[in-house]
Chain A
Amino acid sequence: MSGYNFAYLDEGTKRMIRRALLKAVAVPGFQVPFGSREMPLPYGWGTGGIQVTAAVIGPDDTLKVIDQGADDTTNAVSIRRFFARVAPGLRTTESTAEATVIQTRHRIPETPLREGQVMVYQVPQPEPLFRLEPRRAETRRLHALADYGLMQVKLYEDIARHGRVASSYDHPVMVGDRYLMSPSPIPSFDNPKMHMSPALQLFGAGRERRLYAVPPYTAVRSLDFEDHPFVPLRANGRCTLCGSGESYLDEVVTDDRGGRMFVCSDTDYCGTRQARMKEAAE
């Protein structure tokens, strides 16, 4: 890919995204519009995340890309390869601890994040009120007034019908006690990791042309009621490969006779644990 600028985007586009990112950090949880560009992959494959990553990374960075926790799925592999080609000098890794920038689709790594790391989330729908109020002009107004009664009613109806809040992923959060925010479709299991995280968290929605941010050490509260507190969901089981009883699990169908097993969704976490178990056994 010679002939392209560092990290694919031209400098004018990067500056526009960078200015929007600084305002997003200054107003935690607020969706800042930006001029999303056409990228060499379709909407829905992480164009927002890629543009944020492209505006942020430099030749000294180490990039990790995950898709549903895995480093080795199509989306993660192609985005990692894309940046390795268009950003000379950039190192890529599968290790959470080594990465300085982590682009993610729908998961937060199990390994705790640290200061100096930047999380970049791929966001399909940045507007948490989208299913309740489709008019963009109206949701902007609701955010301006911090009027989030609609969402409380939705959660109440879930509880009235199902006995519990029905969202197992993309559970809405309040950022800094001011803005209602979509955490992107991460499992509700990951929501508590956003609260007071030492890392900077950036969110990019390419098709919807919005980006937003949660600065480090910022309160991120999952929406709930006093008598129905938020409970992060996790499959009741252990990882078949590494035995972890704490990580988020994927259920994998193994044959056509009802055989299934649970494995960690975070491949780096699971692999590291398996390697350690092997070492201990030898």
Chain B
Amino acid sequence: MTGLLPGFADPVVDAQSTFRAVLEAMARPGRVQRLPAPPAPPAPLSPAAGAVLLALADGETPLWLDAGADASEWARFHAGCPVAADAGGAEFVLAVGTPPALSALEAGTDEDPHRSATLILQVAALEEGTGWRLTGPGIEHEHRLHVTGAPDGFLAQWAANRALSPRGVDVILCAGDRVAALPRGTSIKEG
């Protein structure tokens, strides 16, 4: 390790503004939110993925990530979260490359659907107005979201995940300093 990079500049205020953006994203699936004050985490983590991690993860939430030793060290130092060896046992799964299959992650139970994993998925770019057609709770008619760099076969995996509803994995998409979310109840059609 060659010098640890800092986390949030103002941990209290920055965690709050990040959470509000993620809450807004989760409540309005497909709407892209810009984070006002993300940190500069070690490569290959994007500022948005780093911010979401610091705002939500802590000692109570096992994390699985594929972003290398520097990112792992940074997350463990700033968020204090245990790093899980197996994605199936993690509460937060952060993927910068090809993520584990959605079906391999914790989906919760019928009585406890909230005990499911959240996948923080880093992609190349997020853009509103074109691409996928999203419908479901939080969407008045239809939201459109263009995701550059979504993993191969994601929509088929998503359809299977959505069929589990109210169980299922929730996804937070991160690109640069922007986030969008796909809660489990959102249906996605190719644009």
Contact = CB atoms under 8 A, between A and B. Distances in A.
Contacts of A219: 137
A6 B12 CA distance: 7
A71 B111 CA distance: 38
Contact of B13 (A6, A32, A176): A6
Interface stretch (B22-30, B98-106, B150-158): B22-30
B140 A30 contact: no
B11 A58 contact: no
Interface residues of B, number: 36
B185 A28 contact: yes
A216 B27 contact: yes
Interface in A1-23: 5-6, 11-12, 14-16, 18-23
Residue of B58, B114, B140, B183 ringed by the most chain A CB atoms within 10 A: B114
B137 A217 contact: yes
A58 B17 contact: yes
Interface residues of A, number: 43
A32 B28 CA distance: 20
A143 B114 CA distance: 13
B137 A218 contact: yes
B137 A176 contact: yes
A257 interface: no
Given A176-B137, A215-B137, A30 B114 contact: yes
B185 A26 contact: yes
A176 B19 contact: no
B26 to A, nearest CB: 5
Given A196-B140, A217-B140, A18 B12 contact: no
A26 B111 contact: no
Contacts of B11: 11
B12 A11 contact: yes
A178 B166 contact: yes
Given A6-B13, A20-B114, A26 B56 contact: no
Interface in B23-72: 23-24, 26-28, 55-58, 60-61
B139 interface: yes
A245 interface: no
Given A176-B137, A178-B166, A218-B138, A23 B23 contact: no
Contacts of B114: 20, 23-24, 26-27, 30, 32
A278 interface: no
Contacts of A200: 23-24, 27
Nearest to A213: B27
Given A30-B166, A217-B137, A176 B23 contact: no
Given A23-B170, A144-B111, A218-B138, A56 B23 contact: yes
Nearest to A6: B12
A181 B47 CA distance: 38
Contacts of B23: 18, 21-22, 25, 56, 200
A198 B140 CA distance: 8
B165 to A, nearest CB: 8
Given A19-B56, A216-B138, A30 B113 contact: yes
Given A25-B183, A57-B16, A215-B27, 15 more contacts: A11-B11, A14-B16, A18-B23, A19-B61, A24-B114, A25-B27, A26-B184, A30-B166, A55-B19, A59-B13, A140-B111, A179-B166, A217-B137, A217-B138, A219-B137
Which 8 pairs show the lowest CB-CB distances between chains A and B?
A26-B183, A23-B114, A144-B110, A215-B138, A58-B16, A218-B137, A217-B140, A144-B111
Interface of A: 5-6, 11-12, 14-16, 18-28, 30, 32, 55-60, 140-141, 143-145, 176, 178-179, 196, 198, 200, 213, 215-219
7 contacts: A11-B11, A11-B15, A15-B56, A56-B19, A58-B13, A176-B185, A216-B28
Interface of B: 11-13, 15-17, 19-20, 22-24, 26-28, 55-58, 60-61, 109-111, 113-114, 116, 118, 137-140, 166, 170, 183-185
